[in-house]
């Protein structure tokens, strides 16, 4: 009798596990939040350390892209990290070639727990680099750039403190003038490049896939979704144009099926306010929320929006930033604050659950991302990409009735805009920003 009871109980547990596993598997909300970054000079170029600390706390950003060419004292980076927990990607950036300095300062950041990754050169097509006495990048041969990054990768992986940190590739590998193989993380056999097969440059591809491009100007439906595409349907300077088929000389890289799973990050993206193109402060703020979501959903592990704050030496770039030159928060900062406050979590989910839901007749401009907090509650994020105008009416249906469902709109505030009791479905109107649906487990 006891054996029969045990067997029946075991079958019941298995059935419950099977039912629990049905539906869409959630992603840790904390892991998603860790992807949110921005570019910053922290305490140089018109930025102030105390203001940067407050700006990071307010927006909820988890990492900043920095480099040694700004000559920011390492102590400033460490203080920033200690007061905000923000991590730093640290790179050679524009025109840099000093591997020894990069390694030394990266070690200091790593020992303080502040390092996220090590990045290579910033846009060598725009910033020529001299390495071992040879000028590379721009219209010159890119062999010096390739040698620099081969040596940088080797130096990181041979360092006892840094060896486990990821190396992010250069940006704009698609601009190569000669086929040095920088469109690969590791040059494969039969690639027929100037550098030998097996040469390793990085652990992650790195792009500056700004969500607007001279060949794709103005606002479009699916503006951020298409810009995040890893394949050739991307209308901007994205992964395909840098690691699939280089945009300058059409050197072949990875096939599209490999691009879909290629480890990748974005270290610059955004859209400058532009009244002629309809990009008001309000539209920019909505674009930026959607941008972070589209990037993560489409496989970008980290995304940095350019720029945290306007820079004194580049005042025109204030149009991209979350904060003005005099450190006033723009709408993008407020909406990001609301967004990260609603989703706030500081612990990853060890084993994600699943939620059974469907979106009836889902339009191509409606996208979804299911997150789960460490307390077990689900947060279904839906965002509309109707930037050319219009609305989408969608119905979300759940596999079972939920006792309480809360709907948040980060463009309104941090409190629910609607609470539903005993809900098994809901109708929503989506335009050009996210809505967040909280479902308590």
Q: Mind listing the domains of the chain with CATH numbers?
A: 30-342 (3.20.20.80), 348-439 (2.60.40)
115: left (phi over 0), alpha (psi -120 to 50) or beta: beta
Burial of 13 (0-12, 13-18, 19+ CB in 10 A): exposed
The band of 441, judged by pLDDT with boundaries at 50, 70 and 90, is confident
Distance CA 309, CA 61 (A): 13
Element spanning 334, H or E: helix 331-342
β partners of residue 200: 186
Query: Are residues 183 and 176 in contact, defined by beta-carbon separation less than 8 angstroms?
Result: yes
Chain segment 38-88, per-residue pLDDT in tens: 999 999 999 999 999 999 999 999 999 999 888 999 999 999 999 999 999
Under the banding of pLDDT at 50, 70 and 90, the label for residue 12 is very low
Q: Answer whether 233's CB lies under 8 Å from 225's CB.
A: no
pLDDT of amino acid 13: 41
| pLDDT, average across residues 128-146 | 97
Dihedral pair phi/psi, residue 11, rounded to 5°: -65, -40
Residue 93's pLDDT is 80
**Model pTM score:** 0.95
State the DSSP string of 44-59.
STT--HHHHHHHHHHH
Q: How confident is the model at residue 237 (pLDDT cuts 50, 70, 90)?
A: very high
**How far does CA 201 lie from the centroid of its chain?**
21
Cβ contact 203:167 at 8 Å: yes
Q: Which of 432, 211, 172, 221 is nearest to 305 (CA)?
A: 211
Q: How far apart are CA 59 and CA 305, in angstroms?
A: 12
Instruction: Using the Cα atoms of residue 163, residue 165, residue 166 and residue 170 in order, give the sign of their dihedral.
Output: negative
- The chain-wide mean pLDDT, for the chain, equals 94
């Amino acid at each position: 009798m006891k054996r029969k009871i045990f067997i029946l109980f075991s079958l019941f547990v298995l059935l419950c596990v099977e039912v629990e596993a049905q539906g869409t598997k959630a992603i840790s909300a904390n892991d998603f939040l860790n992807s949110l970054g921005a570019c910053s000079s922290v305490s140089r170029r018109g930025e102030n350390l105390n203001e940067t600390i407050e700006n990071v706390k307010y927006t909820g950003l988890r990492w900043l892209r920095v480099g040694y060419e700004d000559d920011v004292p390492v102590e400033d980076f460490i203080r920033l990290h200690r007061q905000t927990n923000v991590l730093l990607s640290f790179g050679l950036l524009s025109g840099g070639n000093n591997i020894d300095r990069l390694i030394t300062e990266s070690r200091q950041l790593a020992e303080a727990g502040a390092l996220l990754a090590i990045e290579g050169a910033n846009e060598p097509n725009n910033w020529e680099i001299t390495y071992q006495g040879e000028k590379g990048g721009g219209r010159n041969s890119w062999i010096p750039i390739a040698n620099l990054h081969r040596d940088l990768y080797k130096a990181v992986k041979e360092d006892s403190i840094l060896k486990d940190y990821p190396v992010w590739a250069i940006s704009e590998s698609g601009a190569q003038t000669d086929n040095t193989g920088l469109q690969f993380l590791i040059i494969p056999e039969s690639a027929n490049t100037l550098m030998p097969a097996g040469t390793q440059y990085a652990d992650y591809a790195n792009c500056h896939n700004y969500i607007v491009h001279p060949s794709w100007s103005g606002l479009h439906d699916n503006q951020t979704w298409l810009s995040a595409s890893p394949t050739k349907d991307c209308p901007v300077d994205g992964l395909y144009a840098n690691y699939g088929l280089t945009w300058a000389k059409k050197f072949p890289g990875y096939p599209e099926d490999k691009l879909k799973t290629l480890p990748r990050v974005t270290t610059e993206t955004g859209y400058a306010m532009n009244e002629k193109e309809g990009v008001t402060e309000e539209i920019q703020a909505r674009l930026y929320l959607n941008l972070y979501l589209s990037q993560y959903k489409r496989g970008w592990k980290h995304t940095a929006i350019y720029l945290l704050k306007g820079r004194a030496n580049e005042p025109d770039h204030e149009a991209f930033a979350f904060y003005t030159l005099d450190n006033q928060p723009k709408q993008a900062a407020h909406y990001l604050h609301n967004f990260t406050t609603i989703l706030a979590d500081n612990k990853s989910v060890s084993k994600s659950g699943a939620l059974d839901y469907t979106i009836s007749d889902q339009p191509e401009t409606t996208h979804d991302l299911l997150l789960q907090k460490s307390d077990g509650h689900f947060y279904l994020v839906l965002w509309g990409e109707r930037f050319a105008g219009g609305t989408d009416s969608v119905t979300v249906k759940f596999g079972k009735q939920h006792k309480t469902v809360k709907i948040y709109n980060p463009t309104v505030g941090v409190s629910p805009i609607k609470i539903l009791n005993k809900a098994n479905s809901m109708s929503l109107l989506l335009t050009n920003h996210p809505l967040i649906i909280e479902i308590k487990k």
